[in-house]
C-alpha cells in the first residue's frame, strides 16, 4: 500500500514558493519550506475540496501550497554538481528526459543521483551518458554508475579519442596523418570499434601487468560493456552532427553541438593536434549549446586557447588577425551568432588557458565554475574571475562556483571531532571485534558527512521555462524557512536576459 495517495502533480511557480503548515497560508505564516521554481509537487488527496490551498507533498514534507504558487508545465533543469575538482552536470528536460554530462572523478555524482533517484531501488534508464573528453575528472564518476545494478544508459557519447599504450600505434591517439600539422584519424565513432579496440588487450593494458598503468578510460568502457549498461550505441559527437539526436533545431529544446570540429585529411575523418596529449584531449571537448525557447546555455568542457581560436575561426569562416577595432567588432558580432549564451559553464574549471575574445563572444549574464578543493592548479584563477566579470553582459554579471558554494560549516566540526576521537580509540583497540565496530562507526560518520555535502550544498541549480530563469544555491545557514540563495534572470524590453537583483 502506498504511504501517500497522490491525485496529481504540479511544479513550483517562479521564482519560488512556500509550503505552509495549514490551509491558512500566509495568514498564519507558518512556513515549512521554501520551494524553488520547477520543484516537483505531489498533490495529495484533499482534506477539503474548496479553497485556494492544495494539500501537497514536496521535498519529503506534507503541507499546503497556494494554487497560484503552482504550475502545470515542467521546466528545464540543469544541476551543476559539486564533484570536487572536475565537471559533472545533470540535465532534466521539460519532457522528463535525463542526461548526464560528465560525472567528475570520484563518487559525488553517484551519491547525488542515488539520493535523487530513491537509491536506484528500481531500474532507471538515462537517455545519454556523455563524457565531454577522456580526462578522469570528467569520466571517473561513471565507474560508480557502471557498478550500480539498476542504472542503464540508452547511449554513451564521447569525443572519439582513446589512448593506446606505447609502441602499439604511431601515436598515443593511434593512426596519424602529417601535413603542415599532425592529424589523428583513429577515431572511435561506433561501439564495434571500441569492442575491437578492447578485445586486443595490448592496446590498453600495460605490458608490465601492473593494472595501475592500464588506460583508465578503456577500463571504464569495458566495465560499461561487460555490465551491459549501454542499451544502444557508443557514438562520437562532433560539429558535423549539428544537433543532439532528439533535440533537433525545430524542437523547443534544441541542443547544438559546436565542437569538436573534425576535418577530412586524405579522405579520412580526423581531429587535429592542438599541442601535447592533454591539450588535444581538452581542446576537442564536446561543446554544447542548449537553446530552450529564448534562453541559451553554453557547456564547453575543457576548451583551451588553441581550441577556442580554432572553433571561432571555423564557425565564422573569418581570420582572427584584426587590423582595426572595427574588424574585431565585426568578428565578435559574427561569432556571437554561434557562441553567445545567457549562461555559460566556465571552461576547464576556471583555468587561465582561455582568450578574452572568446569570453566577449560568449557575452554571458551568468557563469558557473566547477572546481574543487585540494587541487594543484589554483582553479579558479584570479585573472579568470576578473576576465569573466569584465567581459560578461551587463554591469553586474554573475559568477557561481561549486567550490565556493560548499564549505565546511561550523556544525561539522563536532562530527569531525567525533571522527578524530573514534580514530584514537581505534589505534588503542585491543580486539578485532572492537576494531571492526570502531571502523564501522567512523565509516558511517564519514559517509553521512560526505553525502550531506554532496546532496545538499555546493551544487548550482538552474531552472528555466525559456522565458524566465533562476540560478539557486542552498544556503549553508538558512534563516527560518528561507533555505535558498536565488538569482533571477529576466528579459529586458528588447528580449535579452539580464540579472534582476
Q: What is the pLDDT along the chain (501 residues), one digit of tens a residue?
A: 356 788 899 999 999 999 998 887 766 678 888 999 999 999 998 766 678 899 999 988 899 999 999 999 999 999 999 877 678 999 999 999 999 999 998 888 998 999 899 999 999 999 999 999 999 989 999 999 999 999 999 999 999 999 999 999 999 999 999 999 999 999 999 999 999 999 999 999 999 999 999 999 999 999 999 999 999 999 999 999 999 999 999 999 999 999 999 999 999 999 999 999 999 999 999 999 999 999 999 999 999 999 999 999 999 999 999 999 999 999 999 999 999 999 999 876 566 777 999 999 999 999 998 765 544 545 566 777 788 888 899 888 999 988 765 544 445 556 767 777 877 777 777 888 887 888 788 777 766 665 555 555 578 999 999 999 999 998 866 555 678 999 999 999 999 999 999
CATH code for the domain of 46: 2.30.30.40
Note whether 489 and 497 are within 8 A (CB).
yes
50 and 88 together in one domain:
no
pTM for the full predicted model: 0.89
Classify residue 235: in a domain, yes or no. Answer: yes
67 and 80 together in one domain:
no
Cα separation, 310 vs 425, in Å, equals: 58
Note whether 402 and 458 are within 8 A (CB).
yes
Domains: count for the chain: 3
112 and 184 together in one domain:
yes
Structural domain span for residue 430: 417-452
Classify residue 90: in a domain, yes or no. Answer: yes
Classify residue 147: in a domain, yes or no. Answer: yes
96 and 10 together in one domain:
no
Cα separation, 409 vs 434, in Å, equals: 31
21 and 167 together in one domain:
no
347 and 245 together in one domain:
yes
Classify residue 410: in a domain, yes or no. Answer: no
285 and 379 together in one domain:
yes
393 and 360 together in one domain:
yes
CATH code for the domain of 118: 3.60.15.10
Classify residue 176: in a domain, yes or no. Answer: yes
65 and 206 together in one domain:
no
The dihedrals phi and psi of 182, each to the nearest 5 degrees, come to -95, 135
145 and 247 together in one domain:
yes
Of the CA atoms within 13 Å of residue 474, those in its CB half-sphere come to: 18
Note whether 39 and 60 are within 8 A (CB).
no
467 and 319 together in one domain:
no
129 and 213 together in one domain:
yes
Classify residue 61: in a domain, yes or no. Answer: yes
Amino acid at each position: 500500500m502506498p504511504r501517500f495517495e497522490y491525485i496529481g502533480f504540479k511544479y513550483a511557480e517562479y521564482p519560488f514558493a512556500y509550503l505552509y503548515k495549514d490551509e491558512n497560508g500566509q495568514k498564519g505564516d507558518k512556513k515549512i519550506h521554501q520551494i524553488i521554481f520547477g520543484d516537483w509537487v505531489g498533490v495529495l488527496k484533499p482534506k477539503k475540496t474548496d479553497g485556494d490551498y492544495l494539500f501537497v507533498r514536496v521535498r519529503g514534507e506534507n503541507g499546503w501550497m497556494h494554487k497560484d504558487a503552482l504550475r502545470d508545465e515542467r521546466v528545464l533543469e540543469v544541476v551543476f554538481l559539486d564533484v570536487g575538482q572536475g565537471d559533472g552536470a545533470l540535465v532534466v528536460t521539460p519532457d522528463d528526459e535525463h542526461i548526464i554530462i560528465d560525472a567528475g572523478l570520484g563518487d559525488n555524482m553517484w551519491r547525488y543521483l542515488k539520493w535523487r533517484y530513491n537509491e536506484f531501488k528500481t531500474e532507471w534508464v538515462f537517455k545519454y551518458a556523455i563524457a565531454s573528453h577522456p580526462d578522469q575528472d570528467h569520466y571517473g564518476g561513471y565507474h560508480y554508475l557502471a557498478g550500480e545494478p539498476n542504472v542503464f544508459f540508452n547511449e554513451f557519447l564521447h569525443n572519439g579519442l582513446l589512448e593506446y599504450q606505447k609502441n602499439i600505434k604511431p601515436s598515443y591517439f593511434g593512426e596519424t596523418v602529417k601535413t603542415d600539422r599532425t592529424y589523428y584519424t583513429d577515431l572511435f565513432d561506433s561501439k564495434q570499434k571500441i569492442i575491437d579496440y578492447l578485445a586486443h588487450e595490448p592496446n590498453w593494458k600495460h605490458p608490465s601487468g601492473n593494472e595501475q598503468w592500464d588506460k583508465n578510460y578503456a577500463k571504464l568502457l569495458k566495465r560499461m560493456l561487460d555490465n551491459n549498461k549501454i542499451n544502444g550505441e557508443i557514438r562520437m559527437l562532433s560539429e558535423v552532427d549539428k544537433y543532439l539526436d532528439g533535440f533537433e533545431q525545430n524542437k523547443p529544446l534544441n541542443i547544438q553541438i559546436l565542437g569538436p570540429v573534425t576535418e577530412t585529411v586524405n579522405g579520412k575523418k580526423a581531429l587535429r593536434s592542438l599541442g601535447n596529449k592533454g591539450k588535444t584531449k581538452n581542446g576537442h571537448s564536446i561543446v554544447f549549446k542548449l537553446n530552450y525557447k529564448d534562453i541559451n546555455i553554453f557547456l564547453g568542457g575543457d576548451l583551451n586557447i588553441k581550441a577556442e581560436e580554432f572553433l571561432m575561426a571555423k564557425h565564422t569562416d573569418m581570420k582572427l588577425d584584426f587590423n582595426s577595432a572595427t574588424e574585431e567588432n565585426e568578428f565578435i558580432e559574427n561569432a556571437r551568432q554561434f557562441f553567445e549564451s545567457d549562461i555559460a559553464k566556465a571552461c576547464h574549471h576556471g583555468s587561465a588557458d582561455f582568450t578574452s575574445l572568446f569570453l566577449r563572444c560568449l557575452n554571458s549574464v551568468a557563469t558557473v565554475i566547477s572546481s574543487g578543493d585540494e587541487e594543484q592548479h589554483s582553479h579558479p584563477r584570479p585573472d579568470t574571475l576578473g576576465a569573466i566579470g569584465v567581459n560578461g553582459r551587463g554591469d553586474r554579471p554573475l559568477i557561481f562556483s561549486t567550490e565556493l558554494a560548499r564549505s565546511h560549516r561550523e556544525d561539522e566540526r563536532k562530527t569531525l571531532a567525533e571522527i578524530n576521537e573514534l580514530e584514537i580509540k581505534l589505534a588503542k583497540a585491543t580486539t578485532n571485534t572492537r576494531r571492526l565496530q570502531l571502523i564501522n562507526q567512523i565509516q558511517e560518520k564519514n559517509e553521512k558527512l560526505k553525502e550531506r555535502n554532496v546532496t545538499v550544498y555546493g551544487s548550482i541549480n538552474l531552472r528555466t521555462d525559456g522565458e524566465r530563469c533562476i540560478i539557486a544555491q542552498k544556503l549553508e545557514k538558512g534563516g527560518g524557512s528561507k533555505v535558498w540563495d536565488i538569482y533571477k534572470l529576466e528579459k529586458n524590453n528588447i528580449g535579452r536576459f539580464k540579472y534582476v537583483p
